[in-house]
Structure 1
Amino acid sequence: MDTSGPRTVKKQQRPVNLDLQTISFPITAIASILHRVSGVITFFAIAILLALLSQSLDSEQGFNNVMETLDHFLIKFVIWASLVALMYHLVGGVRHLIMDLGYWEELDTSAQSAKVSFIITGALALIMGVIVW
């Protein structure tokens, strides 16, 4: 073995594609990204909901103002979207906890569990829609 000089590794020039619209993500990656996004949405939604709760507990007029605000379609949609984000985050969190226990770690079972989490979230979204409206 020749140890007389430093060994150099030739770095290959690989093409770089930074256009996210042309990259096809696997369903497990989409589920993971959406889990993170739903966590951020839930974080900000909790802050807004706590502000509304605080205003509603201040006085009767504050309560009436909050109730009037919650009657608008756009506000109901935001509440529904926040609830759906929370439900997806909970379902995805349970999925990740089960994966931490050693189940659903193979490619096919993790893809199936991601699909099931999307289906469960869809059903919960319908239920939340009925509750909000």
Structure 2
Amino acid sequence: MSEVTVRKQRPKHLAIHEIRLPLPGIVSILHRVSGAGLFLLLPFLLFLFGRSLGSPETFATFEAVVSHPLAKLVLLGLLWAYLHHFCAGIRFLLLDLHQGLDLPSARNSARIVLVVSLALTVIIGVKLW
């Protein structure tokens, strides 16, 4: 008997725009992006923190920087990044404890992370501005 091996045609390029990630995969990628964003914008946060505590003149600089609409947008993005990273981190800790590993509960926990982080961002963002 002759064995015939069939080779699967592999794509020559990776079409990223055609890949449909499941919701837990999207939450995982957003967790990494939010962590990187928090790390990269840490100097900006430290600058603002230093300006808010220095003296009355530096606090005036802090108020001028924070009152700019672009700075408010960046701070709102940082707020979302922190809240998403926090909520997704709790989800991943539970997954490490072998809680919610089956597919329906993994999808449900990913959905909860997205909803809670966005809801908290809206609530705290409205309260801050």
What RMSD over aligned residues (CA atoms) do the two structures have, in Å? 1.9
8 Å CA contact 1:38–1:86 kept in 2: the answer is yes
1:54-133 alignment to 2 at 5 Å? 54-133=50-129
Partners of 2:7 and 2:31 lie apart in 1 by 35
Partners in 2 of 1:38 and 1:111 — Cα distance? 20
Q: Are 1:41 and 2:34 counterparts?
A: no
Distance (Å, rounded) in 2 between the aligned partners of 1:94 and 1:13: 40
Shift of 1:56: 3.2
> What is the TM-score of this pair, normalised by structure 1?
0.84
How many Å separate the matches in 2 of 1:16 and 1:105? 34
Q: In the alignment, what sits opposite 1:6?
A: none
CA contact (8 A) 1:104 1:110 kept: yes
Distance 1:27 1:90 in 2: 17
Count of residues paired in the alignment: 125
- 1:68 deviates by 1.4
Q: Describe the shift of the 1:17–1:113 C-alpha distance in structure 2 as closer, same or farther (beyond 3 A).
A: farther
**Deviation at residue 75 of structure 1 after TM alignment:** 0.8
Contact 1:31 1:114 in 2 (8 A): yes
Supply the AA of the counterpart residue of 2:122.
L
CA distance in 2, matches of 1:56, 1:27: 39
Which among 10, 15, 35 is matched to residue 19 of structure 1?
15
Which structure dedicates a bigger proportion of its chain to helix?
2
Conserved 8 A contact 1:38-1:88: yes
Percentage identity across paired residues of the two chains: 35
* Bigger Cα Rg: 1
SS in 2 for 1:40: helix
1:16 and 1:116 map into 2 onto residues whose CA distance is 37
Q: Are residue 29 (structure 1) and residue 46 (structure 2) matched? A: no
Query: Once structures 1 and 2 are overlaid, which stretch shifts more, 86-95 or 101-110?
Result: 101-110
